[in-house]
Amino acid sequence: MNKTAHDGKIFAGLIAFGILGPLLFPDYTLQIALMWLMILMASTWDIMGGQAGYNSLGNIFFFGIGMYVSAIAQIGMVYDVAAYTSAFGAIVVEFTDTQYFTGLVLGIILAGIGASALSILFGVTVFGLRGPYFAIGTLGVALAAGELISGWGYVGGGGGISMPVYPGEAGASSKTFYALFFVLAISALGVIRWLLGTQFGLALNAIRDDEDKAEAMGIHTLRYKLIGWSIAAFFMGMAGAIFGNMIGFIEPLEVAFPTTTFGIFMVAMALLGGKGTLWGPVLGAILFHVVKELTWTYLLGWQWVALGLIIVVNIVYFQQGLLGWARDKWPEAFGLKVDTDAGAAAREAAE
Amino acid sequence: MLDNIQVLIVAPVFAVDLLLQGLFIGAIFALAAYGLALVWGVMNVKNLCQGDFVIMGGYIAFTMSWFDIHPIIALPVAFVLMFAFGWIVYLLIIKRVVDRDMFTSLLATFGLSLLIQQVLQLIFGPEVQTTDAGFDSIVLADSMIILPWARIISLILASVLALGIIVFMKYSRMGRAIRATAQDPRAARVLGVDTNLVYAFTYALNAAICGAAGVLVAMIWVIQPYYGIVHSIRAFVIVTAAGLGNLPGVIAAGFGLGIAEKYADFVFGAEFAVAAVVSMLIIVLVYRQLQLYRLRQVVR
């Protein structure tokens, strides 16, 4: 088996789906865009959670920070932010096309940088916490951020901010944001794939297996953890900025820092597919998104209960995930398979 | 914010009032935190649905108030019902995660917490609720300090419950088995303790303590399906600050958190109430980490 060729095929398949999907099913453009967001969330969570063994429950923090950084940057370019937010949407600021798009690009980039900077700041304080303390500490950071922003009048507090309105016709905005999510998710996967092939990936795995020993072997563990976390934060921040612009209205508790919903879903997605593998979180995210949409359609009112049940069953009874299970069953196809049928085929080929 | 601090200095009677409010609330926090310390110490399970058990207990009292049943009668009912619920949760979920790594138990209980809060929200709706105990208030210092009897009774009930649990843990056969298992599960098994039963009993007892605490919360404060996570965070703050197996520490930290929360509420304003609790969690965790740093010798 050639690992590089195999990953290349999956990448090609994902890119083909990403381009063809919205062309063939234009009505589902938004759904597929959200699927890319889910893939991005699960895969970036897996950098620290799966590869380095630092199970964060607060990665959604970066998503919300990115959203707010981009909002402040985009509105602040042409208007006074405090005056805009205190009017609660009564002031409609007209953005020219150039202003809107430069603001959007600048906002997304600043969101990534801002989230990364905060991840390093928080990383220094929370990375000394190990195991469950780290999980609770990161959960605390994400919860606190949502609550603090709810009380911060400058960004509209609990009332939220209306984002600049996309210029041009209605259909064009969904295509633009789809393209942004698609490119972001694919580039994040590419960066993760590249990182895991380098010494950096090995260092993260060494930290996961035994942090004290890794330190004794001369690995500067704190530096690796900070870099890993800031990469995840960079992509999450940009994703938050794009999501905020796509939704058009941001609010601290439900949209920007949904710690008890999407913050835990990303962990569940990575676990469902199999954490610590490149394609596991992708597979888990796709499955979870499909199940989520199905429960939304057929179990309306009970959808959150159904999702909570899925998470509990997944964690308690099937923790290794789909790819983890496949890896245990067919170790020679170590973490390379997306579906288990292909794993069986590989075993037959090997015999 | 500064104005509020000035009010405290100018009118110290407000400060006394806040102190009393904090003490009454803190007693309930200490109760839930003691349950967490029990499960954490005996089974090494970080129970993140602690607060949701509290809220469940509150809703049991709330449901019974529809039938004109007084919250004080609801207290033993909630205790028994939540004991049964805790036992079922142990058999279905906790039993399978108790030997795994600690993150698994954390995540499984977090998932359970989501499940409980969503079911409660479907049944009772998202409104903030309370039960009326129907007691008078004692008015002191020219009605600057209002002391509702419900709070005093809740403090007494919490103390009685805590005392009962301490006596149970110290003198009963099951209590001794629980303490033995906490010290060394393997040795306890060798000496004939059925550790599975002990685990189930400990978890159920924790749920029952939380349920009773929840009745008191519903009696003197408010309940809402999504408030559970904040109660869980409070329990974690208290246990992390006090350390495991330190009962006086848990009680002191519980009162301390209750008072600190009331003061933060007054000084920063009600919109920062939850933020203050969560920030205290981060402060406690960072403090612990600094303590650990002092123990670690890093060669550079």
For range A143-158, the mean pLDDT: 83
Question: What is the mean pLDDT of the segment spanning B231-250?
Answer: 85
Would the CB atoms of A312 and B115 count as touching at under 8 Å?
yes
Comparing CB atoms, the residue among B93, B111, B282 nearest residue A144 is B282
For A252: left if phi > 0, alpha if psi spans -120 to 50, otherwise beta; the answer is: alpha
**Which residues contact residue B96 at a Cβ distance below 8 angstroms, ignoring those fewer than 6 apart?**
A316, A317
pLDDT band at A341; cut points 50, 70, 90 = low
- Place B177 in a pLDDT band, splitting at 50, 70 and 90: very high
- Could you tell me which chain A residue has the CA closest to the CA of B119? A305
Q: What is the b/e burial string over A102-133, where b = at least 16 CB atoms within 10 angstroms of the residue's CB?
A: ebbeebbbbbbbbbbbbbeebbeebbbbeebb
Cα A34 to Cα A108, A172, A258, B16, B55: the distances in Å are 17, 17, 15, 52, 33
Q: What is the pLDDT of residue B190?
A: 92
* Contact criterion met (CB < 8 Å) for A304 and B97: no
B68: in domain = yes
User: How many angstroms separate the CA of residue B100 from the nearest CA in chain A?
Assistant: 10
Interface of B with A in 22-81 (CB under 8 A): 46, 48
Name the residue in chain A with its Cα closest to that of B113. Answer: A308
What's the pLDDT score for residue A249? 85
Highest average pLDDT, of A156-160, A340-344, B165-169, B288-292, comes from B165-169
Q: Name the band, by pLDDT with cuts 50, 70 and 90, for residue B52.
A: very high
Residues of B in contact with A260 (CB under 8 A): 113-114, 117, 226, 229
Interval A18-60: pLDDT, tens:
888 888 888 888 888 999 999 999 999 999 888 888 888 889 9
Q: Count the Cβ atoms, other than its own, within 10 Å of residue A236.
A: 29
Contacts of A175 (CB under 8 A, 6+ apart): A22, A29
- DSSP code of residue A163: P
> Is the pLDDT reported for residue A88 higher than 80?
no
A308 touches chain B (CB under 8 A): yes
Measured distance CA(B26)–CA(B235) in Å, rounded: 11
Residue B212: its pLDDT value, please? 93
Q: Please report residues of A whose CB lies closer than 8 A to that of B117.
A: 260
* Chain B stretch 116-155, residues whose beta carbon is closer than 8 A to a beta carbon of chain A: 117-119, 121-122
Q: State the pLDDT at residue B300.
A: 47
| CA atoms of B138 and B136, how far apart (whole Å) | 7
ipTM of the complex as predicted: 0.82
Is residue A193 within 8 A of residue A281, CB to CB? The reply is: no
Using a CB-CB cut-off of 8 Å, the residues of chain A touching B226 are: 260
Q: Is B283 on the interface with A (CB under 8 A)?
A: no
Looking at residue A340, what is its pLDDT? 52
Q: Is B289 in Cβ contact with A129 (below 8 Å)?
A: yes
CB atoms within 10 A of CB A93: 14
Backbone angles phi, psi at A218, to 5 degrees: 100, 10
Confidence at residue A338, expressed as pLDDT on a 0 to 100 scale: 47
B133 or B119: which leads in pLDDT:
B119
Residue B55 pLDDT greater than 90, yes or no: yes
- Residue A299 contacts B where some CB pair is shorter than 8 Å: no
CB burial readout A194-232, b (16+ within 10 A) else e: ebbeeebbebbbbbbeebeebbeeebebeebbbbbbbbb
The answer to whether residue B170 is domain-embedded is yes
Contact assessment for residue A97 and residue A137, using Cβ atoms and an 8 Å cutoff: no
Write the DSSP symbol of residue A318: -
Q: Give the rounded percent of residues in chain B with a pLDDT score beyond 70.
A: 93
A188 band by pLDDT with thresholds 50, 70 and 90 = very high
CATH code for the domain in which residue B35 is found: 1.10.3470
Q: Which residues of B touch A157 (CB under 8 A)?
A: 271
Contact with chain B for residue A268, Cβ under 8 A? yes
Total-model pTM: 0.85
What residues does B139 pair with on adjacent strands? B146
- The whole-number average pLDDT for the span B46-69 is 90
pLDDT higher than 80, residue B43: yes
Domain range for B28: 2-295
Among chain B residues, CA nearest to A305: B115
The answer to which of A314-318, B60-64, B85-89, B206-210 has the lowest mean pLDDT is A314-318
For chain A, the domains span: 9-259
Does A171 reach chain B within 8 Å, measured CB to CB?
no
- Whether A132 has its CB under 8 Å from any CB of chain B: the answer is yes
**A337 pLDDT above the threshold of 50:** no
- Cβ neighbours of residue B291 closer than 8 Å, sequence gap 6 or more: none
Q: What are the backbone dihedrals phi and psi of residue B129, each rounded to the nearest 5 degrees, phi first?
A: -125, 160
How large is the average pLDDT for residues A142-171? Answer: 81
CA distance B187 to chain A (A): 26
Structure tokens at B26: 């803190």
- pLDDT 10s digits, A291-304: 888 888 887 778 78
- Domain count for chain B, please give it: 1
Average pLDDT over residues B195-210: 93
Do the Cβ atoms of B282 and A141 come within 8 Å?
A: yes
Contact check, Cβ <8 Å, B122/A302: yes
Is residue A64 over pLDDT 70? yes
Give me the percent of chain A exceeding a pLDDT of 70: 91
Helical residues (DSSP H) of A79-131, grouped into ranges: 81-86, 97-126
pLDDT score recorded for residue A117: 93
Say which range, A39-43, A92-96, A181-185, has the weakest mean pLDDT: A92-96
Cα–Cα separations (whole angstroms), residue B10 to B4, B5, B6, B18: 10, 9, 6, 14
Q: In terms of pLDDT, which residue wins out, A329 or A35? A: A35
Residue A172 class from Cβ within 10 Å (0-12 exposed, 13-18 middle, 19+ buried)? exposed
Q: Which long-range contacts (CB under 8 A, 24 or more apart) does B74-81 make?
A: B74/B131, B74/B215, B75/B157, B75/B212, B75/B215, B75/B216, B78/B211, B78/B212, B78/B214, B78/B215, B79/B208, B79/B209, B79/B211, B79/B212, B80/B208, B81/B211
- Give yes or no for A74 touching B (CB within 8 A): no
* Residue A67 near residue A250 (C-beta atoms within 8 A): yes
